[in-house]
Amino acid sequence: MSTATDEMAGIGQPGPDYGDLLAGLRATFASDHTRDPAWRDAQLANLVRMLQDHEAEFLEALASDLGKPPMEAWLTELSYIASEVKHSRKHLKRWMKPRSVRTPAFAQPGSSWVQAEPLGVVLVMGAWNYPLQVVLAPLVAVIAAGNCAVLKPSELAPASAALLARYVPEYLDPQAFAVVEGAVAESTALLRERYDHIIYTGGGAVGRIVMAAAAKHLTPVTLELGGKSPCIVLPDADLDIAARRIAWGRFTNAGQTCIAPDYILADADTEARLVPLLAGHLREMYGEDPQRSDSFGRIVNDRHFERLTALLGSGTVAVGGRSDPAERYIEPTVLTGVDPDSPVMREEIFGPLLPILRTDDLEAAITHVRSGDKPLAAYLFSKDKAAQRRFLDTVSAGSVCLNDVIMFSAVPELPFGGVGESGMGAYKGENGFRNFSHLKAVMRRGIWPDVPLRYAPYSDSKFNFLKKLL
């Protein structure tokens, strides 16, 4: 999400000293009780209980920070996290179980296996657009893997951050988990410390800063960075279904979603048929005046509002276009006649604007997508299996969805992560467990017989026998 946390791009200011905080977490990890499956399960259960006990407060905070409607907030944040917890608790013992691998004849007698072990202390740096989900969903995987963690929620969602700071110590082990509120100074200070893993969700500018800070300690990182996620609509698609699903995916959370379709690629005839369908479904979802709808959110702050309204001139407003700075409201807007080099096409939009870029056919659309950075998500609407295969084989993206948008994120067995400029590493479900674990290679050898074949002195007969054996 290239614009999600660029407010931190000035990172570098001095801040508090978190040395004692990290020392305490490391002492907890060294005590080994985070390795206990029962402890992990209890922490995961308590995480859901925290959200359930204070559901009304969390929904109110999300409304305060982003104008999120209660149902949307519950579905994309609280319920999403609860689903991740449920899946992890169900499969945790299997994930933790050592995985046997074949031991070759040369290494017999012996047995070999892969054993997952916790890394230590993880720093989780969240973004503002889904201020609970992007902090707590990674935390589910961090806990499942048996780690301690420092949570740094975004300062741009202060109500949500304050609730996390208040309730996480009450429901989770306060010796193993800490929440740090604050802005640039606090983030800078946190990044000076050594961790065993860092996961950051936000923009590429800060992602580079996080990675540079991690490099000083050789700390592995997971970066979720977003990008311009394309949505190709071919003439054979069910355009009514496509329009409905694209409109939902683009304008949920007022477009402030890192995996939302960022722009549409379609030929002229498909565009002409698609635009009125988009307009119709937007009316169905948000009414004639979306500003009065209780189902449509707001832009997070004035800076992003001004940035987004400046992009309205990048094409012809075919749907929407109205705005109100007093409410930081921007109407769901569809732009046509968009030039590939226009401002709206230069970076991830991260707001309720949907440009349509004309392309002649699938190959032209693929060429356009491949000419830019690899996106976090890519979408194709088409019934043609050959077109789907061509798209899957040639478009590189963190995740791909055919004939829908965003829904892959609801599948815990699928990894969630980017590629290239859209990020590195992945989490969710077992992929998250493995991401925050060290997969330790183990071999146990028998004592007898101890065949002298590998030992010096070497000989031609040993050499020839080894060639036949191996």
Catalytic residues: 224, 258
Closest CA to 355 of 257, 244, 260: 260
Closest CA to 152 of 173, 122, 175, 196: 122
Q: Does a cis peptide bond (omega within 30 degrees of 0) precede residue 449?
A: yes
Alpha helices in 145-238 (DSSP H): 158-171, 184-192, 204-215
Ramachandran assignment for 201, one of left (phi > 0), alpha (psi -120 to 50 degrees), beta (any other): beta
Residues 6+ apart with CB under 8 A from 86: 48
Q: Which amino acid is at 151?
A: L
Closest CA to 157 of 130, 124, 178, 184: 130
For the chain, the 3-state helix, strand and coil shares in percent, each to the nearest 5, are 50, 20, 35
Tell me how far apart the alpha carbons of residues 194 and 21 are, in angstroms, rounded to a whole number.
12
Please state the φ and ψ torsions of residue 132, each to the nearest 5 degrees.
Answer: -90, -50
Whole-number CA gyration radius for the chain = 25
Q: Which amino acid is at 259?
A: I
Please state the φ and ψ torsions of residue 120, each to the nearest 5 degrees.
Answer: 145, -110
The helix or strand, by DSSP H or E, that contains position 391, with its residue range, turns out to be helix 385-394
For tokens 């991260």, name the residue.
350
Report helix, strand or coil for 187: helix
